[in-house]
């Protein structure tokens, strides 16, 4: 087969897989929305609605800046990460397990690596949808004012695209490494720590008084998602330099994606 013919065949097979995933997503739209909004909704409700109403608001340390404003970017980021893990890691871990449901994908007329990349990209698409679902909640629910302004639309689009790809890559890496019987352990050792140490509930700059922790959390990709969205949505708050979080998100996508693709190929051809 000529190169153009091979390319058209690959494109047709990839499009068929995307259509299949879209059909599954449409049929499971309610579970998708539920698992996406539940965690951010509960946190926003307690910390930005209930506590201010009972006079127990969180101190921000900045005049005129509400806690709701600080956490909006982080909660959008964590919603994207949760979706990458839920949409890619959990199903993939089961498909690569004893049932071997992944074999119908691997038999498609595609290199195995492209099958893995399709899962990563579709997970990224769901991550973008998750961010779009979460954002209205964290903007509307708080009892205190939320000050959001987009000063740089190209930066916001770039951060969202890179954050979604990083989420999909993280889901691919976890889904190919973690065995089904280790799912609970994955949440305890990976998901919970990256959430609480991902600068979701506080800017990275506020960790300066705990220098060792400020340096340690730099291995967490969620830190760069939160800081990137903070720079795009709340530019007046302290945040990382633009090149730092854009470069880190690009590197995290390549690193996690490479790990996930290699592990996927190893698991499927073994």
- Per residue in 164-186, pLDDT tens? 999 999 999 998 888 877 777 78
Total domains in the fold of the chain = 1
- Asked, for residue 13, whether it belongs to a domain, the answer is no
- Asked, for residue 16, whether it belongs to a domain, the answer is no
Tokens found for residue 181: 């019987």
Residue 70 is part of which domain span?
31-269
| pLDDT given at position 170 | 93
Which percentage of the chain shows pLDDT scores above 70? 88
Tokens found for residue 217: 């959390």
Q: Tell me the pLDDT band of 145, cut-offs 50, 70 and 90.
A: confident
Separation of alpha carbons 15 and 39, rounded Å: 32
- Asked, for residue 12, whether it belongs to a domain, the answer is no
| pLDDT given at position 207 | 92
Separation of alpha carbons 270 and 262, rounded Å: 12
- Asked, for residue 22, whether it belongs to a domain, the answer is no
Q: Tell me the pLDDT band of 1, cut-offs 50, 70 and 90.
A: very low
- Asked, for residue 23, whether it belongs to a domain, the answer is no
- Residue with the bigger pLDDT between 12 and 258: it is 258
- Asked, for residue 64, whether it belongs to a domain, the answer is yes
- Asked, for residue 2, whether it belongs to a domain, the answer is no
> Residue 144, exposed/middle/buried by CB under 10 A (0-12, 13-18, 19+)?
middle
- Asked, for residue 15, whether it belongs to a domain, the answer is no
């Amino acid at each position: 087969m000529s190169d153009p013919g091979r390319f058209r065949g690959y494109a047709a097979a990839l499009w068929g897989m995307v259509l299949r995933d879209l059909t599954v997503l449409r049929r499971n739209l309610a579970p998708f929305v539920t698992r996406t909004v539940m965690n951010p909704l509960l946190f926003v409700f307690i910390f930005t609605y209930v506590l201010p109403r009972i006079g127990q608001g969180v101190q921000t340390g900045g005049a005129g800046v509400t806690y709701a404003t600080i956490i909006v970017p982080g909660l959008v980021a964590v919603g994207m990460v949760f979706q990458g893990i839920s949409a890619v890691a959990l199903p993939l871990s089961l498909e690569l397990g004893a049932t071997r449901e992944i074999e119908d994908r691997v038999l498609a007329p595609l290199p195995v690596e492209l099958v893995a990349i399709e899962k990563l990209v579709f997970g990224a698409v769901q991550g973008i949808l998750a961010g779009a679902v979460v954002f209205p909640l964290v903007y509307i629910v708080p009892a205190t004012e939320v000050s959001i302004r987009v000063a740089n639309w190209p930066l916001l689009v770039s951060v969202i695209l890179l954050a979604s790809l990083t989420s999909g890559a993280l889901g691919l890496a976890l889904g190919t490494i973690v065995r089904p019987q280790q799912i609970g352990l994955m949440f305890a050792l990976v998901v919970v720590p990256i959430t609480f140490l991902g600068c979701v509930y506080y800017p990275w700059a506020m960790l300066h008084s705990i220098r060792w922790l400020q340096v340690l959390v730099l291995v967490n990709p969620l830190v760069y998602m939160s800081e990137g969205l903070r720079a795009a949505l709340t530019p007046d708050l302290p945040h990382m330099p633009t090149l730092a979080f854009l470069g880190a998100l690009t590197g995290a996508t390549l690193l996690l994606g490479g790990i996930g693709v290699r592990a996927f190929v190893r698991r499927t051809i073994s």
